[in-house]
């Protein structure tokens, strides 16, 4: 399947299967930014700082999920065909 044949729904499902934590984390970042704008307009500096912490926490979560997904796909998640097979141990065969 080429990228031209992929619908938006297909791409969303593929991305969620590749790294399922990125999209919910991005939603959390957007929520933190929404809270920041709401509290900034209200003039509540204490709640604004709390909203900044929420946003930064979600950004750290997404970064950790991205790095973790990349490490996982490079090591554990690699397809069995891509992994080199260990060579069998060499044993001396003695005819009996």
Provide the terminal-to-terminal Cα distance of the chain, rounded to the nearest Å. 57
Please tell me the distance from the alpha carbon of residue 56 to that of residue 18, in angstroms, as a whole number: 24
Please tell me the distance from the alpha carbon of residue 87 to that of residue 13, in angstroms, as a whole number: 38
Please tell me the distance from the alpha carbon of residue 18 to that of residue 66, in angstroms, as a whole number: 10
Global pTM?
A: 0.65
Q: How far is CA 11 from the centre of its chain?
A: 15
Domain ranges of the chain: 21-74
- What does the pLDDT average to over 8-33? 87
Answer for the pair 51, 35: CB distance below 8 angstroms, yes or no. Answer: yes
**Residue that wins the pLDDT comparison between 14 and 30:** 30
pLDDT tens, residue by residue, 44-91 = 999 999 999 999 999 999 999 989 888 887 888 655 555 565 666 677
């Amino acid at each position: 399947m080429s990228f031209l044949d992929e619908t938006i729904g297909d791409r969303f499902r593929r991305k969620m299967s590749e790294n399922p934590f990125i999209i919910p984390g991005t939603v959390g970042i957007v929520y933190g930014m929404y809270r920041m704008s709401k509290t900034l307009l209200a003039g509540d500096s204490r709640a604004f700082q709390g909203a900044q912490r929420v946003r930064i926490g979600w950004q750290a979560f997404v970064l950790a999920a991205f790095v973790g997904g990349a490490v996982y796909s490079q090591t554990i998640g690699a397809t069995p065909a891509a992994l080199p097979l260990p060579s069998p141990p060499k044993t001396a065969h003695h005819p009996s």
